[in-house]
Amino acid sequence: MGKILPIILALVGLGAGVGAGLAMRPAPEPVDPAQTAESPPAGEATPSEPAPSDPQTATAPDYVKLNNQFVVPVIQDGSVAALVVLALSLELASGGPELVYQREPKLRDAFLQVLFDHANTGGFGGNFTSGRNMQLLRSALLEAAQKVLGTSVTDVLIVDVVRQDT
């Protein structure tokens, strides 16, 4: 009996899983009575009508993640009190990542200057992730990015931010 019990439990569990899967499966899509066997399935274009264009794909922005993180020291009383590590991405209205990667050294330099200024004014102290504080930082980073890459940059996204006190 001790050897048969695990097999019985496994079969009961398997049966319960199959039963739950059958009970939870989605209902089949209802058939539209106006649609005949000759008309194409929903979402497909007929030869006489053009395929609908998706306006979001035509104007969808490109996102470019910068390769390396930014490390910013937070100085207090003449010594490093903390390190802030950030990962940034750019939202581009047009163009591709080629321009970003081509000008990445200049872009990183501009971003580091903004991040150091932010740290020196106390931006990474206290509640440094407050909405207002992060918006000020994003605005300053966006301004720096647009000076380097032009107006094709529409936003700077702070993907990760970590503060490590020393």
Q: Determine the pLDDT at residue 59.
A: 73
DSSP H or E segment with residue 165: strand 153-165
Cα 93 to Cα 56: distance, rounded to the nearest angstrom: 12
pLDDT digits (tens, 9 = 90+) for 60-102: 888 999 989 999 999 999 999 999 999 999 999 876 788 899 9
Q: Determine the pLDDT at residue 31.
A: 60
pLDDT digits (tens, 9 = 90+) for 56-70: 455 788 899 998 999
Q: Is the pLDDT of residue 6 over 70?
A: no
Read off the tokens for 145: 């990015």
State pTM to two decimals.
0.64
pLDDT digits (tens, 9 = 90+) for 136-164: 999 999 999 999 999 989 999 999 999 99
Q: Is the pLDDT of residue 13 over 80?
A: no
Contact residues for 159 (Cβ-Cβ < 8 A; gap 6+): 65, 87, 88, 89
pLDDT digits (tens, 9 = 90+) for 28-44: 666 655 555 555 555 55
Strands, E, within 1-152: which ranges?
62-65, 70-76, 79-92
Read off the tokens for 130: 């407050």
Mean pLDDT of the chain: 81
Q: Is the pLDDT of residue 27 over 80?
A: no
Q: Determine the pLDDT at residue 110.
A: 97
Q: CATH class for domain 61-165?
A: alpha beta
Strands, E, within 9-128: which ranges?
62-65, 70-76, 79-92
Query: Residue ranges per domain, the chain?
Result: 61-165
**Residues 84 and 119 sit within 8 Å (Cβ to Cβ):** yes
Grouping H, G, I as helix, E, B as strand and the rest as coil, residue 49 is coil
- Residue 55 has φ and ψ, to the nearest 5°, of -65, -25
Q: Determine the pLDDT at residue 15.
A: 60
